[in-house]
Structure 1
Amino acid sequence: MSEIVKLKAKDGHELDAYVARPAGEPIGGLVVVQEIFGVNHHIRSVADGFAKDGFLAVAPAMFDRFQRDVELGYSGEDWQIAMGYAQKINIDDAVLDVSAALDYVKKETGTKSGVVGYCFGGSMAWLAAARLDPDVAVGYYGGYIPKFNYENPRVPVMLHFGAKDEHIPLEGIEQVKAAHPEVEVYLYDAGHGFNCDERASYNAEASKIARERTVTFLKQHMK
């Protein structure tokens, strides 16, 4: 079952969020943070997938502060629009919006909570682990993670990167691994966005392995 709800951040900003509910009692609350293409069909399907795994999954609309109802594809004009929106993001405001989603899943489930994010959302999962209070976080190919390497996660973190990612140099990934040996970092023979089956860079094998690792990791730290 899915629905759209309203969330309120600590600074008073109201944002939409897509909620996917499991069939039974949730085993945990999970914030699913979007790429730069909005809460589109792919992100909703990701949330739906986690709901089938037993999580109450919430995907906050991270662009609502400057443009509501963003739902873009992965090529042509949509790609250019997405890149423009990415430049407008205020990271501190984005953290507030993730925090609002975390508060929601905690209240709704009464269980432990986690954050999983993709691309831009992968970076937000990293910052949520350092600045907020989830119980676990997973980031997929977050390009800002090397930039925020000085942040110190306070909860278990798993990171997935593509060894052929044209946006994230391997040097940056190695720096993250060196600075945070406690973080589980996995490299795949794939490019950026390998988890998204609507992108040309989709890699079915890498996506499957990363997802299995992610679900196991989330469940492990939500017991």
Structure 2
Amino acid sequence: MSTVELKAKDGHRLAAYCAKPQGQPRGGLVVIQEFFGVNGHIRRVCDQFANDGYLVLSPAIFDRAERNVELGYDEAGMNKGRELRAKLVLDNCMIDIQAVIDAAGAAGKVAPLGYCWGGSLAYLAAARLSGLACAIGYYGAQIAGHSNETPRVPTLLHYAEVDEYIPQADIEKVRNAQPAVTIYQYPGTEHGFNCDDRKFWEPKAAALARERTLAFIRQHVG
């Protein structure tokens, strides 16, 4: 496991955590961070998928605003994450993600996989970017606001049952606008249920969502 530097088409250089599988990769995954940076949780997610056989890259999306960002899940981390996200331009985030997709393509077919803010970015990548086989998003609060943008590839979305940031009406908006998108909700869960560093971690739901995610990746990436 290491950190690599990638170059976006506008010349911006960004870091990406890189986790490699043993042996020939089955394909590439782009794991897109929450607004807490490429922190310990995101790196563990990358390592887990590398163990499943994929080349995994996780871009430091915050690099355009501040480098080497790793935040905790406390109030200070939340505030700092929001502050940094507000400094970024969405189109530039897409440029950075495209650069990482292109790099991951060395391993074969590619899927973006995002959590929280990264879940929204993964959805937008599916609608706007090239070189993808499928996309997966976990509890992306901004997806409803972009539900008029149709993914170009098979897309899977995971949502909590009760999410303080994503009302049920938003999930139904996505369902109605994009009937081809596969959506799961997980009973007894709240926002961030996949993250074992967050107070709302729900291990059974997290395991089921991961099982479904891996099956989806196996189907579309390899």
Query: What TM-score comes out, normalization by structure 2 length?
Result: 0.97
Comparing 23-32 with 87-96, greater Cα deviation is found at: 87-96
One of 129, 133, 148 as aligned partner of 1:132:
129
Distance across 2 between alignment mates of 1:218 and 1:159: 13
Q: Quote the offset at 1:76 in angstroms.
A: 3.2
Partner of 1:174: 172
Q: Which runs of 5+ in 1 are unaligned?
A: none
Pairing 1:56-67 to 2, within 5 Å after superposition: 56-67=55-66
Q: Quote the offset at 1:9 in angstroms.
A: 0.8
Q: Quote the offset at 1:79 in angstroms.
A: 2.2
Query: What TM-score comes out, normalization by structure 1 length?
Result: 0.97
Q: Which runs of 5+ in 2 are unaligned?
A: none
Q: Could you tell me which amino acid in structure 2 is paired with residue 168 of structure 1?
A: I
Q: Quote the offset at 1:84 in angstroms.
A: 1.2
Distance across 1 between alignment mates of 2:140 and 2:77: 20
Q: Quote the offset at 1:12 in angstroms.
A: 0.9
Partner of 1:218: 217
Q: Quote the offset at 1:88 in angstroms.
A: 1.7
- Secondary structure of the structure 1 residue equivalent to 2:62: coil
Distance across 1 between alignment mates of 2:76 and 2:135: 32
- Secondary structure of the structure 1 residue equivalent to 2:162: coil
1:11-55 Cα shifts (integer Å, max 9, x gaps): 111000000000111001000000000000000000000000001
- Alignment of 1:23 onto 2:22: yes
Q: Could you tell me which amino acid in structure 2 is paired with residue 155 of structure 1?
A: V
Pairing 1:64-143 to 2, within 5 Å after superposition: 64-107=63-106, 109=107, 111-133=108-130, 134-143=132-141
- Alignment of 1:159 onto 2:157: yes
Comparing 97-106 with 76-85, greater Cα deviation is found at: 76-85
Q: Could you tell me which amino acid in structure 1 is paired with residue 121 of structure 2?
A: M
Distance across 2 between alignment mates of 1:72 and 1:206: 24
- Secondary structure of the structure 2 residue equivalent to 1:63: helix
CA distance change for structure 1 residues 76 and 172 in 2, over 3 Å: closer, same or farther?
closer
Distance across 1 between alignment mates of 2:177 and 2:75: 38
